[in-house]
Amino acid sequence: MTTHKLVVEVANACGLMPKKEQDSAGVYVHLNFNEQFYRTSIREKDLNPVWNERFCFDVSDPSNLRGLALEACVFNFTESKYNSVSSLGMVRIDGASIPIPPFSRRAKFHYYKLEKSSLLSRVCGELCLKVYISDDPSVGTSNCPLPGMSVIHFVPAPELREEDRSPRSRDIPLAHLKKITDNFSDDRILGQGGFGVVYKGVLQNGETIAVKKIVSSLVPGMQKQFENEVYHLMMLNHHNIVRFVGYCYETRNECLQHDGKYVFAEMAERLLCLEYMPNGSLDKYISDESSGLGWSTRYKIIEGICHGLCHLHVDNGKPIIHLDLKPANILLDDDMIPKITDFGLSRLLDQQQTICTTSRDGTFGYMAPEFLHGGTITPKSDIFSLGVIILEVVTGHRDYPDVTRTSAEDFIKIVLDKWRNVLERSLEYGSLETCYQQIERCIQVGLICVNPDRTKRPAITKVIYMLHGSESTDCTVRNEAA
């Protein structure tokens, strides 16, 4: 029986996003065919990386390819304390379009355009691949030269680090969670609210995690919120989203008194395990310009929240709408890096990107007007909340022109003057100008985001452009459709 191989020759890519000189950044291609995975080596600081690598996948019958597809994903990798990975784009090749023997080895390489995130506007998105079926037994051996190319290195992808993997379901026994929290001791409580209590858990390897114990199953809506949070956390993998460690869902029958009688009821224990954030939530650090966090830290927090929200809205195929963005749901690690948490109210949008609901769950002051009054949910619902948070981080309070009746121009001037008094005492002139520009942009972006008309709020990618100064943040943008 002839052995067939699906051959993917990864040559190079062009027009990828330039890297900052100070970053140790690179690009790699991750191939996925019928749950077989390979990864190229990383090409560092290269706008047009050249791989010259070949990968082979076993195919028993080439005619079966029609129902399958090959995915080639291009990732940006920044080697740092957090080893961040972000998607630059993906090529999806239908199995029916893959040439089968006889195949001319003199055929040219094909450039496939990446389906890329709109955030990365400088990505031209072309990946050079040659994909075909071969029954040549020599194909797949090491150092096999290809026409017009130097030596090819046939190297299976290295074992992916945990950070690169899609999050997997991890069911953790209740008995284990009791053990690592000293049976949910009061001394281990990190925080509590209407949802339940969060405890500090210490794993056997010494790692600290947060164990969120949801309130009793008799509380209406808690089951749906728990399922929402688990499902959506399992889909997410970003350094500005709290890392999902696992969950526990165990039920037991308990004899309870009801209407003067004893009845057996099924009680559920629901717990979520998340990475531990030593600096707690952002709401504990909200203060005016004269005290609290310095400007550089505040700006880093605003940027991080925006990138985390971009991951929710853009990077997952279908947008995930958080619906309860607020400082209490932004956690801070030991380097004050923000991470979005609490996905109990989050919703996965359909293709129309609009949901109408009778639910009004959320936090007053951060809820978009169309959601609060009409139950309409779109990605712009989160953008309104983001705008409130940005203004709150900059000023220390939730007041803004639509609330205080101050003009936008006067509001910006007042805030800038307050920051000027603080910064002039501690920074040199060059740094001052940079900070003033950042502060002004942040205020303008916040004002644009809280526009009562959702059609005039920008998408999250546009928010990031404006924050970085690559797009105008003139307040007249408030009157433009995004």
Q: What is the DSSP annotation of 236-281?
A: ---TTBPPEEEEEEEEEEEEEEETTEEEEEEEEEEEEEEE--TT-B
- pLDDT tens-digit map of 76-132: 777 654 456 667 777 878 776 676 655 444 445 677 777 755 444 455 667 888 887
- Which pLDDT score is estimated for 44? 75
Catalytic residue among 324, 333, 342, 382: 324
Name the residue type at position 103.
F
- In the chain, what are the domains? 4-136 (2.60.40.150), 174-275 (3.30.200.20), 282-479 (1.10.510.10)
Q: What does the alpha-carbon distance between residue 349 and residue 397 come to, in Å, rounded to a whole number? A: 31
- pLDDT tens-digit map of 295-310: 999 999 999 999 999 9
Say whether 134 sits in a helix, a strand or coil. strand
Contact (CB, 8 A) for 467 and 458: no
Tokens describing residue 362 = 């959320």
Q: Is the pLDDT of residue 75 over 60?
A: yes
Tokens describing residue 182 = 């000293």
Where does residue 334 rank: exposed (0-12), middle (13-18), buried (19+ CB within 10 A)? exposed
Q: What does the alpha-carbon distance between residue 465 and residue 118 come to, in Å, rounded to a whole number? A: 11
Per DSSP (E only), the strands in 294-436 are 320-321, 330-332, 338-340, 347-348, 355-356, 376-377
**The pTM of the whole model exceeds 0.95:** no
User: What number of CA atoms fall less than 13 Å from residue 191's CA on the CB side?
Assistant: 16
Q: Say whether 453 is catalytic.
A: no
Tokens describing residue 468 = 């970085």
Tokens describing residue 51 = 């791989």
- The chain-wide mean pLDDT, for the chain, equals 77
- Which pLDDT score is estimated for 155? 30
Say whether 233 sits in a helix, a strand or coil. helix
Q: What does the alpha-carbon distance between residue 300 and residue 316 come to, in Å, rounded to a whole number? A: 24
Of the listed ranges 82-96, 161-175, 342-356, the one predicted with least confidence: 161-175
Q: What does the alpha-carbon distance between residue 277 and residue 332 come to, in Å, rounded to a whole number? A: 6
Q: What does the alpha-carbon distance between residue 182 and residue 42 come to, in Å, rounded to a whole number? A: 44
Q: Is the pLDDT of residue 292 over 70?
A: yes
Any idea how long the chain is? 482
More confident residue, 404 or 193: 193
- pLDDT tens-digit map of 238-251: 889 999 988 998 88
The number of angstroms, rounded, from the C-alpha of 125 to the middle of its chain's C-alpha atoms is: 21
Q: What does the alpha-carbon distance between residue 384 and residue 48 come to, in Å, rounded to a whole number? A: 38
Name, in order, each residue with C-beta under 8 angstroms of 261's C-beta and a sequence gap of 6 or more: none
Contact (CB, 8 A) for 202 and 190: no
Contact (CB, 8 A) for 301 and 282: yes
User: What number of CA atoms fall less than 13 Å from residue 244's CA on the CB side?
Assistant: 25
